[in-house]
Amino acid sequence: MTFAEAYARTKRHVSISVSFAALGGGNSGAGSSSGDGGPGRLLLNHISSPHVTLASAVAASCALPGIMNSATLEAKDSSGKVRLCFKKESEGDIEH
């Protein structure tokens, strides 16, 4: 279920924050970073990232070295297939 599907079904706002050091190559389109090379946040919700799946957002928000290393954000495309959005290797590392 995506953020948009969850909002359409429940009319409740859900936001999940994923922290990272810097995107280093631009923005993924799903949120924004601080832009100064330091720690930033990716705020995922039905407005900023409507097609991202809730399950992948929760997993990405938990990615911490030594506890839960790797997480991938997934999003549904226009045909309804779940596709890789980008990968978060560990806290601070984003791979497009």
pLDDT of residue 29: 42
Q: Where are the domains of the chain?
A: 3-95
pTM, full prediction: 0.70
What is the per-residue pLDDT across 26-84, written as a single tens digit (0 to 9) for each?
344 444 444 444 456 789 999 999 999 999 888 888 877 667 666 778 999 999 999 98
Q: Are 53 and 79 in contact (CB under 8 A)?
A: no
pLDDT of residue 71: 74
What CA–CA distance (Å, rounded) separates 15 from 70?
Answer: 21
pLDDT of residue 47: 96
- Side-chain-facing half-sphere of 45: CA atoms under 13 Å: 12
pLDDT of residue 37: 45
pLDDT for 18 beyond 60? yes
